[in-house]
Amino acid sequence: MARTASIERNTKETQIKVDLVLDGSGARSIQTPLPFLTHMLDAFARHGVFDLTLVASGDIEIDGHHTVEDTGLVLGNAFEQALGDRAGIVRYGSATLPMDEVLVTVAVDFCGRPAFVWNVKNLDGKWIGEFDCELAKEFFAAFATRAQCNLHVNLHYGGNAHHTIECIFKAFARACDAATRIDPRLGGAVPSTKGTLIA
């Protein structure tokens, strides 16, 4: 059974469309009005080995907040849809990655309950081109809410804002890839003592 999703969300603030294939090859086509966000989503699909087509537009003449947050919401919705009843998935995933002077750990549990922890201290007041670095937190918080997952992001050390956010996105990709894989040992069972991850 194909684990795919197509989600479209249109509001007065943003217009976003996502097509996702969990069992992909890393093929991607990303278009957003924020070049750094586009770059990060491209890295996410490549390093998570997801097929991802994402087109977003929004009221960036106000600021990038709505576009970044709503993109996280829609991508989270896509994961929720593609995972279905979550039968047979590994469920948990984590990745610790370096990027030059930065070291990051991201851990995820697709458990059906949203929880978000952001232990990243060095981004307040920083910008990368037109991207307000504080919006990275909003993206991941939105994803966790809509994907119904626990998501913990920890920056161990490092200073450069570009390196920090890029390392987070790549670790997030690897953690999501690990957690969404099918474990053949489960024989299609749901990996929970409750017998469900959606109730």
Domain range list for the chain: 4-186
Amino acid at 99: M
58, 37 in Cβ contact below 8 A?
A: no
Distance CA 172, CA 127 (A): 21
CATH pick for 4-186 out of 3.40.50.880, 3.30.230.40, 3.20.20.150, 3.40.50.970 = 3.30.230.40
Residue with tokens 């953690």: 175
Residues 6+ apart with CB under 8 A from 177: 47, 48, 49, 50, 93
Amino acid at 171: A
Which pTM value belongs to this model? 0.96
177, 48 in Cβ contact below 8 A?
A: yes
Name the β-bridge partners of 6. 19
Amino acid at 198: I
Instruction: List per-residue pLDDT tens for the chain, 199 residues long.
Output: 689 999 999 999 999 999 999 999 999 999 999 999 999 999 999 999 999 999 999 999 999 999 999 999 999 999 999 999 999 999 999 999 999 999 999 999 999 999 999 999 989 999 999 999 999 999 999 999 999 999 999 999 998 999 999 999 999 999 999 999 999 998 888 888 888 878 7
93, 178 in Cβ contact below 8 A?
A: yes
